[in-house]
Amino acid sequence: MIEFRRATVRAEPEGRVLLHPVELTLTEQRVGVIGPNGSGKSTLLRLINGLLLPSSGSVAVHGMDTATMGRRVRRSVGFVFTDPLSQLVMPTGREDVELSLRTRRIPAADRKQLASDVLARFGLEHLADRSSYDLSGGERQLLALAVVLAVEPRILVADEPTTLLDLRNDARVRSLVAGLDQQVVFTTHNLDFALEADRTLVIDDGRIVFDGPPPDAVAHYRHLVGSAAPGGA
């Protein structure tokens, strides 16, 4: 469960409001967040695992405040970025999974086997010894997901995980996300993906302007974009 209690984010030092007070409790298994570029989607997501702390108000994950219990929150919340290359920091996939497992104090001998098991679980064993630079965008994103899920977080936060992918890889990532036991909060520009959520938020200009069933949220967003476009409704 993720709770936002009047969480507000301001850009320092000018004080411009990036995210107006958010009051939310997210308990659904799949939560989608849609909105225009620069609307505050990523800011909202970064609050969940303490990458960003609210300027005022608070955010709690399973009762743990992100401001005071950041380390514990990060152990519970996995975060996947839009560009997987910024997330994959080891030369090969297996080593990146092993790096994640180091945070769990797993002995070196067990780590290797466990890393292979994790890759096999996601059908990525063929990428184990390949350089991250030599993988396709889809393979990188699947690997980034495996790297984050290797430590079995209770919540997965994904910031536009399919934006850089072609249709086939977009479907693979969505299928993987759909099969997860974890609660997943994701932002996306793919409205079909947004429809797969249990609950969808629409953000515009730092405000949550709609919160409800995905079909209604998508319709609201289409109307919002349509009315903002030149000659729009």
Partner 1 sequence: MRGYGATLGLYEPGKGFLYRLPTAVKAAASLGCAVAVIAWRSPSTTAVALVLTVGCLLVGARLSPARLLRMLLPAAPVLGILALYQSLAQGWLRAFVVVGGITACLLAARALTLTTTTQDLLDGVVRLVRPFRSIGADPERFALAVSIMLRSIPYLAGMVVDVRQAARARGLERDPRVVVTPLVLGAVAYAHRTGEALAARGLGDEDDEDDDGP
Give the interface with partner 1 as residue ranges (CB under 8 A): 49, 51, 65, 68-72, 74-75, 78-79, 81, 83, 86-87, 89-92, 94-95, 98-100, 102-103, 108, 111-112, 129, 131, 133-134, 147-148, 151
Assign 135 to helix, strand or coil.
coil
Min dist CB 169 to partner 1, Å, is: 18
Min dist CB 188 to partner 1, Å, is: 18
| Shorter beta-carbon distance to partner 1: residue 161 or 214 | 161
| Shorter beta-carbon distance to partner 1: residue 53 or 209 | 53
Min dist CB 224 to partner 1, Å, is: 29
Min dist CB 82 to partner 1, Å, is: 10
Angle value at C-alpha 89, between 179 and 168, nearest 5 degrees:
40
Q: Report DSSP state, residue 121.
A: H
Question: Which are the contacts of 58, defined by CB distance < 8 A and separation ≥ 6?
Answer: 4, 5, 6, 7, 65, 66, 67
CA distances from 143 to 2, 49, 64, 91 (A): 26, 20, 28, 12
Min dist CB 70 to partner 1, Å, is: 6
Q: How far apart are CA 177 and CA 168, in angstroms?
A: 14
| Shorter beta-carbon distance to partner 1: residue 40 or 78 | 78
| Shorter beta-carbon distance to partner 1: residue 109 or 167 | 109
Min dist CB 77 to partner 1, Å, is: 8
| Shorter beta-carbon distance to partner 1: residue 129 or 192 | 129
| Shorter beta-carbon distance to partner 1: residue 108 or 167 | 108
Q: What does residue 181 show for φ and ψ, rounded to 5 degrees?
A: -80, -25
Q: How far apart are CA 166 and CA 156, in angstroms?
A: 22
Half-sphere exposure of 25 (CA within 13 A, CB side): 4
Q: How far apart are CA 21 and CA 7, in angstroms?
A: 5
One-character DSSP codes across 143-172: HHHHHHHTT--SEEEEESTTTT--HHHHHH
